[in-house]
Amino acid sequence: MSLAGTVLRSRTLAALTSPHSVDRYLELVNPMWAAREVRARIVDVTREVDVPGHPPVATLTLQPTSTWRGHRAGQHVQVGVEVDGARRTTRVFSISSSDSRPGERFTITVRANPDASRRQSVSRWLVEHARPGTVLHLSQAQGDFVLPDRVPEHVVMISGGSGITPVMSMLRSLQRRSHRGRVTFLHYAQSPEHQIFAGELEEARRSGHGIDVHLLHPELGDPALSPAYLHRLVPGYRDVATWACGPAPLMEAVLASYDGSEALRTEYFRPPRAGTGASGGELVFSRSGAAAANSGAPLLEQAEAAGLTPESGCRMGICLSCVSRKSEGTVRNVVTGEESSLPDEDIRICVSAPVGDCTVYL
Amino acid sequence: MTNPGITLTTEQLEEFGDELDAIRQRILADLGEADASYIRDVVRAQRAFEVAGRALFYLPPAWPLAVAALSISKILDNMEIGHNVMHGQYDWMGDPGLNSRMYEWDNVCPSEQWKNSHNYIHHTYTNILGKDRDIGYGVLRMDEDQPWHPYYLGNPAYAFLLMVFFEWGVAMHDLEVENLVAGRRKVEDNAALHAGIMRKVRRQAVKDYLLFPALTGPLFPLTLAGNAAANLVRNVWAFNIIFCGHFPAGVATFSQEECEDETRGQWYFRQLLGSANITGSRLFHLMTGNLSHQIEHHLFPDLPARRYPEIATEVRELCERYGLPYNTGSLGRQLGSVAAKICRLALPDRRERSRTPGPVVAEPTAA
Ligand code: FES
């Protein structure tokens, strides 16, 4: 591979395939050949839990292309799929397996999002329809929510809901690296039935390697996260290296309990906010840091009113000079009336009016 | 102005605009797998022709075949793929390989600059004299309202040269050389554009005139000539298709005053009167990037071009209902018409001579 890789990534080959990239040719022969892009073939799909009436969860084992640079436990990856065979939609998923090296297999664990429409839901498609053999588009692993190379003697991991995936990856990595220190692992879930990785966590607890596992279900009477509770489990916890990941309410409790301690590292997944169906709300221009009350006019006009000078041309939606990235919120195309709420979407700001809160990179 | 005096009432224009918007919306809602696999098939075919062309240069007797394959590849790359992808026709797919922001074509004109002169200037100000720089590309006289000057005696010769070197003409489009000459633009204004063009020119030249010929060893001169020939074929083809789309007889041009504060209906109206189609087979439409449906393209520049033939039926029907012309004809007819215009406008207008000073009188009316 390395010789082939050197050739594929050479400047000469790039000059020969210019103006297109080498990958644009390779993918036509075999989607698993790539010089720069990252793709992966699904090699296995395993259902984790399947509680009737609740969104199913599945773990997908992925064989990436040789361009995959590997990941560190706790990182995430962007996964792009064409749900309807035409529109590629991209979502971020945490990697659930232990650290991977370049080109090495890894897993993502996905909970089907029950709220998303079928057409746009990557998670539902991955859990319900993805089959071994399917090729996915990936980014390289991203994120700083990672274990350091030298892991402290005692670590605390706190997670809630789907936030278990990155910390599970950390726990698995620690086991693989034969970490002999102490790990306090706290996880909050709705009920024991929802608990993914339950068997493996139980095994870890019994392994005798100093892993304390606490699976908590406050709805069934278990203690909620509080300084007092943490103190009981880990005296002086504010000075113990802690990794926490979960839904907003849990994270608020964690932040409050650690009170600005430097030992705490967090990862936060915010669900995409749906449009409110009306104007009003707040506009955030994330590049310039400006903000404004949403007047309901097209974003280009509102940005200009806020003193910004975004690039523009025709101002009628045909030339694409004004395309910008919307990271959050819903916009309505004033020409077609179509609404769209996808996160990280390129939109023509001259014909896109925000509906409710909206964040655009301007 | 050569607008043949066709008008619609304000209400009619509004309805007309609404009907076109409805067509647009229906197509948008219907985009999906068929459109995605179509463009992917075209890309696959283009890459296959390219690889075949490059490979056939190793077989000297197959030289004409190699040139043909490479020409087809370059035509597909520029027209059905490049031109259309850069209009954002496939942005909805979310595929970085087919995205208007990232696509770069096999042409010396950098896509970034082309998108400004074409997507923005040409498609916004279509056929507005003094605004749409595609009228004559700054070198030709393509409209009666461009004042005649002895320079234009060379009109046919300039057109021929522009055809042969079309990709270079397109690359220099943004530099506004005619405005430089006239002193309306400073050389410094072009510095950034220059850098972009030089980078792209270098890449294209290294590939076609150095690397690929060198890879065929002793066949270097043959391969080089073959690559040049393929570029020439693409230039001649693209020039002719594009000129047939805007300059045959019967296409209207507009004055800047007329187009102030246009409504959406009026904009559609101008796009319709300012474009012309070419009839032909499915293969012909594919090879023109469906710019043989220039009218539909100008009405809906960001809808996938494969939809234009289907839209055309509705647009024609609409034109009949509103009593509007729908300019279409065979390639031969449209080419003849364009050639005649290029030659006719080389000479001063007869009308212009009779117009020289004197009291302004009403247009002579036919008995
Ligand atoms: S300014 Fe032309 S598309 Fe927005």
CB contact under 8 A, B47 and A28: yes
The CA angle B326-B330-B333, to the nearest 5 degrees, is: 95
Higher pLDDT, B364 or B182: B182
Q: What is the ipTM of this complex?
A: 0.86
A95, A165 contact by CB (below 8 A): yes
Residue-level pLDDT at A272? 41
| pLDDT at residue B261 is higher than 60 | yes
Q: What's the Cα-to-Cα distance from A261 to each of A159, A235, A265, B137, B247, rounded to whole Å?
A: 18, 15, 9, 66, 72
What CA–CA distance (Å, rounded) separates A341 from A358? Answer: 10
CB contact under 8 A, A346 and B124: no
The residue-averaged pLDDT of A219-241 equals: 94
Q: Which of A15, A87, A346 sits opposite B211 (nearest CB)?
A: A15
Reported pTM: 0.89
Q: How many other C-beta atoms are found inside a 10 Å radius of the C-beta of residue A291?
A: 12
Q: Which of A86, A321, A323 sits opposite B36 (nearest CB)?
A: A86
Res. B360 pLDDT band, cuts 50 70 90: very low
Q: Kindly tell me the sign of the dihedral angle through the C-alpha atoms of A237, A243, A245, A248.
A: positive
What CA–CA distance (Å, rounded) separates B76 from B67? Answer: 14
**Amino acid identity for residue A329 in this structure:** G
Give distance in angstroms: CA of A311 to centre of ligand 1: 9
Of A302, A304, A322, the one to substitute when testing ligand 1's pocket (max ligand atoms within 8 A of C-beta) is: A322
Residue-wise pLDDT for A124-176, tens only, equals 999 999 999 999 999 999 999 999 888 999 999 999 998 999 999 999 999 98
CA distance A35 to chain B (A): 14
State the closest ligand 1 atom to the C-alpha of B119, by its place in the atom list counted from 1.
Answer: 2
B37, A88 contact by CB (below 8 A): no
| pLDDT at residue B329 is higher than 60 | yes
Res. B34 pLDDT band, cuts 50 70 90: very high
Token representation of residue B180: 């430089």
SS3 sequence of B290-310? CHHHHHHHHHCCCCCHHHHHH
For residues B344, B348, B349 and B353, what is the CA-based torsion angle, rounded to 10 degrees? -160
Give distance in angstroms: CA of A342 to centre of ligand 1: 20
Q: Which of B33, B97, B200 sits opposite A86 (nearest CB)?
A: B33
| Any ligand 1 atom below 6 A from CB of A333 | no
What CA–CA distance (Å, rounded) separates B75 from A141? Answer: 39
Higher pLDDT, B94 or A275: B94
CB pairs under 8 A between A and B: 98
**Amino acid identity for residue A338 in this structure:** E
State the closest ligand 1 atom to the C-alpha of A348, by its place in the atom list counted from 1.
Answer: 4
